């Protein structure tokens, strides 16, 4: 502990802190651009420079540790001029027109120009002419807008363990992207969109489906229905100025009606269905091993996160048999919308357009997979991210904040609280255990408030175990079994967990993996900017949505009972097998 001076104010600090940390503690905002909390600072952009007494040159605040007796000026005229010049140089190489840019509502570069008081451009820089890359289903890269901050590199390789993006070439010709100047589809990218979530500018974005959705809505022949993932309701408000963690389920429903969707349904409905199918699948695997003494792939891995599916297919194909064969809730919904719902409502499935609103870019990729046509049609037609829905609402002139709360439509809008928590890391596991425990013992899960606390929160790898006692027939083979489960989020954590399982260091019956840090609430399609504080608020909001529901367990949802009685038969039955389950392919 030593003393430093920052803008004439004395402060105690130590050398584990950077100048940026010290400024934050004293309520001073130093502008940053390349800096990304939680990653080693690169000191690449120099926007954060400050003056340190005794030093000849200006110092990058994000990457410089405090030293005893440092005297720091964060906003001296010299500093301000330097920051302006840095930004002017960046802008002079930046090929973009804010008026026509999808990021003009949340662009960090533009915001910085405003904050630093830039007026007219002083330099006209040489520009790298590079083509836009639309090679993948979910993402668009516009390298001409890239400011080379390398946040995407850090996130893709360190957090996700994928490594699709790296600096290529050298000097002025440097680009940040896939190998050489190739397109993203020529390297392994799991389409998670975590790069999109951290990119400060419009250099990587989701491939927009807004225009397609508008065209469908305009077509009088089409019956356009929408499903929203649980994570949307805890984040959409942020697009309209609400603080993170405010639930806007009712307003979101009202907005979707006003946009013109014929039915407003819920991915939660098919999340409940997923629990029935995936829980039954787990019990079947356990029976094969424990009762029949045969072998089955355990642990079973959850399969609702399409980035994780891509990751397994590319990096851990030996674990494909462990993946639950259940489609994700989005795809179960699509397959049922064009069969069950079409039949029930007497509408020609060919005329039904299914739109989903997802916190995720990989869902766009998933919806476009060849095999996702089990209804006889493309099961899900278009996927909007939370951010795109925010734009669509604004585009339609809807004043979101003054909307009343409305309820979703039946039957595919009914759900339990267990479905809500699919949005949080640990939630799918908790939802599954609520149902599996009760089905096998006839008793409610005996934990406080039905939660499994060790599985909640932002730790990268979490585990829990639960002894099953008092089983009823035909589940007696589970009597006294210690059910061991684990949860990981962020693919880097998933890979670490898998390596441990492979090495025999850990073993489980069931493992939940979500691609994005924090789970879907931290998805690549969520409003920017998602920090850990924001994640925690969204997580808390989701748990309170669950707790406020009259039904908290998937098997209690009457719409689920109805669909099995009227249409599907039983979990893992023939129809389920055809519509709700899928298979995976090893990829290079």
Partner 1 sequence: MTSTPALHQNSAEQQELLHNIVDSLKDQEGALIPILQAAQDSLGFLSTESLKTISKLLNMPYSEISGVVSFYSYFTTMPRGRYTIRVCLGTACYVRGGKQLLEELKKILQIEVGETTEDKLFSLEVGRCFGACGLAPVLMINDEIHQRVKPTKLAALLAPYKSENDSEATDESPKISQEDAQ
Contact residues for ligand SF4 (CB under 6 A)? 94, 96-98, 101, 103-104, 107, 109-110, 139, 145-152, 155-156, 160, 162, 164-165, 176, 189-195, 198-204
Buried b (16+ CB within 10 A) or exposed e, 212-234: ebeebbeeeebbbbbbbbbbbbb
> What is the distance of C-alpha 85 from the center of its chain?
36
Rounded CA-CA distance 196/203 in Å is: 8
CB 125 within 8 A of CB 74: no
Q: Which of 148, 158, 166, 394 binds partner 1 (CB under 8 A)?
A: 166
- Toward partner 1, which CB reaches closer, 104 or 157? 157
Distances (CA, A) of 455 to 19, 231, 434, 579: 35, 18, 13, 30
Q: Which residues are within 8 A (CB) of 416 and not within 5 positions of it... i.e. 6 or more apart?
A: 268, 272, 549, 551, 552, 553, 554, 556, 557
Scan for tokens 């003009």, then name that residue.
Answer: 104
Minimum CB distance to ligand FES, residue 33 (Å): 5
- Toward partner 1, which CB reaches closer, 26 or 168? 168
Q: Which of 41, 178, 522, 527 binds partner 1 (CB under 8 A)?
A: 178
- What, of partner 1, ligand FES, ligand SF4, none, does residue 173 touch, CB below 5 to 8 Å by kind? partner 1
Rounded CA-CA distance 7/27 in Å is: 11
300-301 sheet: strands from edge to edge: 300-301, 510-514, 482-489, 461-467
Minimum CB distance to partner 1, residue 173 (Å): 6
- Toward ligand FES, which CB reaches closer, 83 or 555? 83
Minimum CB distance to ligand SF4, residue 278 (Å): 25
Give the sign of the dihedral formed by CA 153, CA 154, CA 155, CA 157.
positive
Contact between 181 and partner 1 per CB under 8 A: yes
Look up residue 28 and give its DSSP letter.
-
- Toward ligand FES, which CB reaches closer, 43 or 125? 43
Contact between 394 and partner 1 per CB under 8 A: no
Scan for tokens 């402060």, then name that residue.
Answer: 11
Catalytic residues: 278, 281, 304, 324, 363, 366, 371, 520
- What, of ligand FES, partner 1, ligand SF4, none, does residue 85 touch, CB below 5 to 8 Å by kind? none
- What, of ligand FES, ligand SF4, partner 1, none, does residue 62 touch, CB below 5 to 8 Å by kind? ligand FES
Q: Strand (E) positions, 85-154? A: 139-141
Partners of 513 in the β-ladder: 488
Considering only CA atoms, which of 138, 146, 132, 165 is closest in space to residue 103?
Answer: 146
Binding piece for partner 1, criterion CB under 8 A, among 62-70, 186-194, 225-233, 383-391: 186-194
Positions that interact with ligand FES (CB under 6 A): 32-35, 43-48, 60, 62
Rounded CA-CA distance 245/235 in Å is: 7
Q: Does the bond joining 529 to the residue before it have cis omega, within 30 degrees of 0?
A: yes
Contact between 207 and partner 1 per CB under 8 A: no
Over the window 187 to 206, marking each residue x when it contacts partner 1 by CB under 8 A and - when it does not, the resulting string is xx------------------
- What, of partner 1, ligand SF4, ligand FES, none, does residue 187 touch, CB below 5 to 8 Å by kind? partner 1
Partners of 144 in the β-ladder: none
- Toward ligand SF4, which CB reaches closer, 362 or 485? 362
**What tokens were used for 270?**
């098919």
- What, of partner 1, ligand FES, ligand SF4, none, does residue 203 touch, CB below 5 to 8 Å by kind? ligand SF4
CB 110 within 8 A of CB 170: no
- What, of partner 1, ligand FES, ligand SF4, none, does residue 35 touch, CB below 5 to 8 Å by kind? ligand FES
Rounded CA-CA distance 69/53 in Å is: 10
- Toward ligand SF4, which CB reaches closer, 13 or 177? 177
Q: Which of 33, 137, 146, 164 binds partner 1 (CB under 8 A)?
A: 164
- Toward ligand SF4, which CB reaches closer, 28 or 101? 101
Minimum CB distance to ligand FES, residue 452 (Å): 39
CB 356 within 8 A of CB 383: yes
Q: Which residues are within 8 A (CB) of 323 and not within 5 positions of it... i.e. 6 or more apart?
A: 300, 301, 303, 309, 312, 584
Rounded CA-CA distance 223/262 in Å is: 6
For residues 103-162, which are near partner 1 according to CB under 8 A?
A: 157, 162
- Toward partner 1, which CB reaches closer, 111 or 179? 179
Minimum CB distance to partner 1, residue 513 (Å): 20
Considering only CA atoms, which of 347, 295, 283, 258 is closest in space to residue 572?
Answer: 283
Contact between 172 and partner 1 per CB under 8 A: no
Minimum CB distance to partner 1, residue 562 (Å): 48
- What, of ligand SF4, ligand FES, partner 1, none, does residue 46 touch, CB below 5 to 8 Å by kind? ligand FES
Quote the longest CA-to-CA distance of the chain.
Answer: 79
Q: Which of 71, 179, 410, 565 binds partner 1 (CB under 8 A)?
A: 179
- Toward ligand FES, which CB reaches closer, 73 or 506? 73
Minimum CB distance to ligand SF4, residue 105 (Å): 8
Q: Looking at 297-353, list the stretches that DSSP marks H as alpha helix, in order from N- to C-terminal side.
A: 306-315, 329-336, 342-345
Minimum CB distance to ligand FES, residue 37 (Å): 11
Considering only CA atoms, which of 255, 250, 571 is closest in space to residue 400?
Answer: 255
- What, of ligand FES, partner 1, ligand SF4, none, does residue 155 touch, CB below 5 to 8 Å by kind? ligand SF4
* Residue nearest ligand SF4 by beta-carbon distance: 96
**Interface ranges with partner 1 (CB under 8 A):** 157, 162-170, 173, 177-182, 186-188
């Amino acid at each position: 502990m030593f003393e430093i001076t920052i803008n004439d104010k004395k402060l105690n600090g130590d050398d584990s802190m950077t100048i940026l940390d010290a400024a934050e503690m004293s309520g001073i905002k130093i502008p940053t651009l390349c800096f990304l909390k939680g990653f080693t600072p690169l000191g690449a952009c120099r926007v954060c420079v400050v003056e340190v007494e005794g030093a000849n040159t200006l110092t990058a605040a994000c990457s410089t540790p405090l030293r005893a007796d440092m005297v720091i000026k964060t906003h001296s005229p010299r500093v301000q001029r330097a920051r302006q010049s840095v930004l002017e140089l960046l802008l002079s190489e930046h090929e973009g027109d804010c008026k026509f840019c999808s990021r003009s509502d949340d662009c960090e570069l533009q915001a910085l120009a405003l904050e630093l008081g830039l007026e007219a451009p002083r330099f006209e820089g040489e520009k790298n002419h590079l083509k836009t890359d639309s090679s993948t289903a979910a993402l668009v890269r516009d390298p001409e807008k890239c400011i080379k901050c390398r946040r995407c590199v850090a996130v893709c390789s360190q957090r996700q363990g994928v490594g699709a993006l790296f600096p290529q070439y050298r000097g002025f010709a440097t680009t940040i992207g896939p190998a050489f100047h190739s397109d993203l589809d020529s390297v392994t990218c799991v389409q998670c969109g975590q790069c999109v979530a951290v990119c400060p500018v419009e250099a990587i974005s989701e491939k927009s489906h807004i225009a397609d959705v508008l065209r469908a809505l305009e077509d009088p022949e089409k019956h356009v229905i929408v499903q929203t993932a649980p994570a949307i309701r805890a984040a959409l408000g942020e697009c309209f100025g609400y603080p993170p963690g405010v639930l806007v389920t009712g307003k979101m429903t009202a907005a979707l009606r006003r946009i013109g969707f014929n039915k407003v349904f819920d991915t939660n409905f098919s999340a409940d269905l997923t629990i029935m199918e995936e829980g039954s699948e787990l019990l079947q695997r356990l029976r094969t091993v424990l009762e029949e003494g045969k072998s089955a792939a355990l642990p079973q891995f959850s399969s609702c996160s399409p980035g994780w599916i891509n990751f397994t297919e590319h990096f851990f194909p030996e674990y494909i048999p462990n993946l639950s064969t259940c489609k994700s809730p989005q795809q179960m919904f699509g397959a049922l919308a064009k069969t069950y719902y079409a039949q029930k409502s007497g509408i020609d499935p060919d005329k039904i357009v299914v739109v989903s609103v997802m916190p995720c870019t990989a869902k766009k990729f998933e919806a476009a997979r060849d095999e996702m046509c089990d209804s006889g049609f493309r099961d899900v037609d278009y996927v909007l991210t939370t951010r795109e829905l925010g734009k669509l609402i604004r585009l339609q002139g809807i004043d979101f904040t003054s909307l009343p709360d409305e309820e979703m439509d039946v039957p595919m809008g009914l759900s339990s609280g267990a479905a809500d928590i699919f949005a949080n890391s640990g939630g799918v596991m908790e939802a599954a255990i609520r149902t599996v425990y009760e089905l096998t013992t006839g008793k409610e899960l005996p934990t406080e408030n039905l939660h499994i606390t060790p599985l909640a929160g932002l730790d990268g790898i979490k585990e829990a175990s639960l002894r099953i006692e008092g089983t009823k027939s035909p589940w007696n083979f589970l009597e006294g079994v210690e059910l061991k489960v684990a949860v990981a989020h962020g693919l880097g954590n998933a890979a670490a967990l898998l390596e441990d399982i492979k090495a025999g260091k850990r073993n489980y019956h069931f493992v939940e993996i979500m691609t994005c840090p924090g789970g879907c609430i931290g998805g690549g399609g969520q409003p920017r900017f998602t920090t850990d504080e924001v994640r925690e608020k969204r997580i808390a909001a989701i748990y309170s949505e669950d707790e406020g529901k009259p039904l908290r367990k998937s098997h209690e949802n009457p719409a689920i009972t109805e669909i099995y009685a009227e249409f599907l038969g039983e979990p893992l039955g023939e129809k389920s097998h055809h519509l709700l389950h899928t298979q995976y392919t090893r990829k290079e």
